[in-house]
């Protein structure tokens, strides 16, 4: 018996050593990590899940990515692409026996075409680095996730990342023109084109948001926007979150679509102000950040209407920041909120549900009730303009049973979001975190068709397997569907 176990152990380790040797032949000795202690760094992304990969490989070119995937395909080894590891749904977690391809070395901005307003980049380019680079040319890259300072364009592609300014400009998929991708067998394809409209099926659109299950992006061309002539940021200060929600509906109801419309609740304000002075009043029940941008005449025309909407719905004060430094101060406060939660508790679990704007107050009341019932502290920072909620459960995972309570609370929140006409994710993806809840929204035929689309790209399901689709016990609740026009 022991002889068989020793033989199995030797065969497994010899196989792994042979794999590592092959990978090192492609990228070099220094660019393959396989020691267990070194791999601990790649165990997590920004979610609560974890798993140690078999190895992590750092390619420098599309040719190296292709050769790596040819090796893994021949061996039947699963592969996960990894950007900066900031994802919040477990998308970058490797399955058992799988490797990660990390894009730490593929960080070049290859070309910026000012005339055509496009940029071509490698997947490891940091979102904010691209935006800062093109701003020197009078342009900008619009998608701006809260993790903008750290997240990579490749990761944004995988998850179809959003951000505050996606209310007016759309998520990542609205800004991607062409993708060079390596499929699971190592073949290289180009999806889309350098122009916005190309003939044939929109495979570029299908690829964005596929969470790394279709292929691994190695070169991306994105469209850029001109810098606005004028920008104004309003800080509406409210006594409670209910009046702030009313203000959201009032602003949109006036036919105004701000560039951004963000809400921050009292607990989040206190956390932010404890680490940086963002200008949020400590005694506010909630604040709204409303940003207008465009031609000077357009911005001035709607300024009075936005300000009136805030006052009329119960604001105790309305401040307007026009100076870039003042506006940056407010946005730093918004985008550092999740990091600031560390002053309250060492761990958090974030729910990424979407609901119709008219249901915000109702859903937030339910979120508060769920948190109280499970004895979980909840902070809210979210994209109010498009109903993308981010209830953030704060806890210490060393407390016995607390993670289980948080997961149950998250489950109820997601169920309720779907019940009121919403859905499971606005920008963070399904990944590992929400895959068992997909039947809340999709029936078996829906999911089967999605799998067929995946199989057309990756028939062996070797790219980020175990994500998106449920593979455990079926969810007991009947699917809720979104009727046409429900979000209008």
Q: What is the CATH number of the domain that holds 298?
A: 3.30.70.3450
Does the pLDDT at position 30 exceed 70? Answer: yes
As given in the structure block, the two tokens for residue 118 are: 């496009």
Average pLDDT over residues 18-43: 96
Least confident segment among 1-15, 23-37, 200-214: 1-15
Nearest residue to 85 (alpha-carbon basis) of 53, 55, 46: 46
Q: Domain for residue 189, yes or no?
A: yes
- pLDDT score recorded for residue 36: 93
Q: What is the mean pLDDT of the chain?
A: 92
- Residues 306-328 have a mean pLDDT of 94
Beta strands in 306-448 (DSSP E): 317-321, 347-350, 377-382, 391-395
Give the burial string for 224-233 (b: 16+ CB within 10 Å, else e): beeebeebbb
Asked if 441 contacts 477 with a C-beta cutoff of 8 angstroms, the reply is: no
The structure tokens listed for 414 are 């997601």
The radius of gyration of the chain from alpha carbons, rounded to an integer in Å, stands at 23
pLDDT at 205 over 70: yes
Pair 344, 377: CB distance under 8 Å: yes
**pLDDT reported for residue 170:** 94
How many other C-beta atoms are found inside a 10 Å radius of the C-beta of residue 216? Answer: 28
Tell me the per-residue pLDDT of 173-198, one tens digit each, with 9 for 90 and over: 999 999 999 999 999 999 999 988 88
Q: Which of 226, 247, 276 is the last residue of a domain?
A: 226
Q: Kindly give, in sequence order, each residue whose CB lies less than 8 Å from that of residue 466, ignoring residues fewer than 6 positions away.
A: 95, 432, 435
Contact call for residues 81 and 35 (beta carbons, < 8 A) = no
Residue-level pLDDT at 12: 58
- The more confident residue out of 6 and 177 is 177
Same domain, 394 and 368: yes
The token pair at 67 is: 């050769």
The pairing of strands 55-57 and 99-102 is parallel
Residue 338 has pLDDT above 60, yes or no: yes
Q: Is the pLDDT of residue 7 over 70?
A: no
Does residue 242 fall inside a structural domain? Answer: yes
Three-state DSSP at 181 gives strand
Give me the CATH number covering residue 218: 3.30.465.10
Q: What pLDDT is recorded for position 13? A: 61
- Reported confidence tier of residue 478, pLDDT bands at 50, 70, 90: very low
Instruction: Report pLDDT for 322.
Output: 85
Q: Is the pLDDT of residue 475 over 50?
A: no
- In a domain? residue 248: yes
Same domain, 125 and 220: yes
Q: Looking at residue 11, what is its pLDDT?
A: 57
Q: Phi and psi for 194 in degrees, rounded to 5? A: -75, -15
8 pLDDT above the threshold of 80: no
Q: Parallel, antiparallel, or unpaired for β 347-350 and 317-321? A: unpaired
Residue 312: alpha-carbon gap to chain centroid: 34
Mean pLDDT of 238-266: 95
Give the pLDDT score at 15. 67
Q: Indicate whether 221 and 245 sit together in one domain.
A: no
In a domain, 70, yes or no: yes
| pLDDT(99) > 80 | yes
The secondary structure of 216-233 as a DSSP string is EEEEEEEE-EEPPSEEEE
Whichever domain contains 409, its CATH number is: 3.30.70.2740
pLDDT of residue 5: 47
Do 375 and 411 lie in one domain? The reply is yes
pTM, entire model: 0.91
Which of 226, 243, 266 lies at the terminal end of a domain, its last residue?
226
- Whole domain around residue 33: which residue ranges? 2-102
DSSP label at residue 41: G
The continuous run of DSSP H or E covering 364 comes out as: helix 360-373
In 274-395, beta strands by DSSP E: 286-294, 317-321, 347-350, 377-382, 391-395
The answer to whether residues 79 and 463 touch, using CB atoms and an 8 Å cutoff, is yes
What are the backbone angles phi and psi of residue 383, rounded to the nearest 5°? Answer: -85, 85
Please report whether residue 294 resides in a domain: yes
Contacts of 349 (CB under 8 A, 6+ apart): 48, 392, 393, 395, 403, 406, 407, 410
- With a cut of 80, say whether residue 6 has pLDDT above it: no
What pLDDT does 14 receive? 59
The mean pLDDT value for 74-96 works out to: 96
Q: Give yes or no for a contact between 257 and 309, defined as CB atoms under 8 angstroms apart.
A: no
For 237, phi and psi rounded to 5 degrees? Answer: -105, 125
How many domains are contained in the chain?
4
Give pLDDT tens digits for 381-437: 999 999 999 999 999 999 999 999 999 999 999 999 999 999 999 999 999 999 999
> Are 6 and 38 members of one domain?
yes
119 occurs within a structural domain: yes
How many angstroms separate the CA atoms of 239 and 420, rounded? Answer: 26
- Alpha-helical regions (H) of 172-261: 203-207, 241-253
Q: Are 370 and 388 in contact (CB under 8 A)?
A: no
Q: Is the pLDDT of residue 311 over 90?
A: yes
Tell me what pLDDT residue 487 has. Answer: 29
């Amino acid at each position: 018996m022991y002889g068989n176990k020793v033989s199995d152990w030797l065969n497994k380790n010899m196989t792994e050593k042979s794999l590592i040797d092959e990978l090192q032949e492609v990228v070099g000795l220094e660019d393959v990590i396989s020691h267990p202690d070194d791999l601990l760094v790649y165990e997590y992304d920004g979610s609560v899940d974890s798993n140690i990969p078999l190895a992590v490989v750092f390619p420098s070119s599309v040719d190296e990515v292709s050769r790596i995937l040819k090796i893994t395909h021949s061996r039947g080894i699963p592969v996960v692409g990894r950007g900066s590891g900031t994802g919040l749904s477990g998308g970058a977690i490797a399955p058992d026996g799988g490797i990660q391809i990390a894009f730490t070395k593929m960080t070049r901005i290859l070309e910026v075409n000012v005339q055509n307003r496009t940029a071509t980049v490698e997947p490891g380019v940091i979102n904010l680095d691209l935006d800062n680079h093109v701003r020197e040319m009078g342009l900008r890259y619009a998608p701006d996730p809260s993790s903008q300072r750290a997240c990579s364009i490749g990761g944004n592609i995988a998850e179809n990342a959003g951000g505050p300014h996606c209310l007016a400009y759309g998520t990542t998929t609205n800004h991607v023109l062409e993708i060079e991708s390596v499929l699971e067998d190592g073949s290289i394809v180009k999806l889309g084109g350098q122009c916005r409209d190309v003939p044939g099926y929109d495979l570029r659109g299908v690829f964005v948001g596929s969470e790394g299950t279709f292929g691994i992006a190695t070169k991306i061309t994105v469209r850029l926007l001109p810098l606005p002539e004028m920008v104004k940021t309003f800080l509406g200060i409210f006594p409670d979150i209910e009046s702030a929600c009313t203000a959201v509906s009032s602003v949109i109801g006036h036919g105004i679509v701000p560039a951004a419309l963000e809400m921050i609740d009292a607990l989040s304000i206190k956390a932010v102000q404890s680490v940086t002075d963002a200008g949020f009043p400590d005694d506010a029940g909630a604040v709204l950040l409303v940003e207008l941008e465009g031609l000077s005449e357009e911005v001035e025309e709607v300024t009075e209407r936005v300000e009136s909407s805030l006052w009329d719905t119960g604001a105790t004060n309305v401040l307007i920041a026009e100076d870039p430094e003042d506006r940056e101060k407010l946005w730093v406060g918004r985008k550092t909120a999740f990091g600031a939660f560390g002053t309250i508790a060492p761990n958090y679990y974030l729910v990424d549900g979407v609901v119709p704007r008219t249901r915000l107050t109702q859903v937030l009341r339910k979120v508060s009730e769920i948190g109280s019932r499970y004895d979980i502290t909840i902070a809210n920072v979210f994209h109010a303009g498009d109903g993308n909620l981010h209830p953030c459960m704060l806890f210490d995972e060393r407390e016995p049973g607390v993670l289980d309570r948080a997961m149950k609370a998250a489950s109820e929140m997601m169920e309720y979001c779907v019940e009121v006409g919403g859905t499971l994710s606005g920008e963070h993806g399904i990944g590992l975190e929400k895959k068992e809840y997909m039947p809340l929204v999709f029936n078996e035929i829906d999911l089967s068709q999605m799998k067929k689309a995946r199989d057309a790209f990756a028939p062996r399901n070797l790219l980020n397997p175990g994500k998106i689709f449920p593979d455990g016990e079926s969810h007991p609740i009947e699917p809720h569907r979104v009727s046409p026009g429900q979000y209008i």
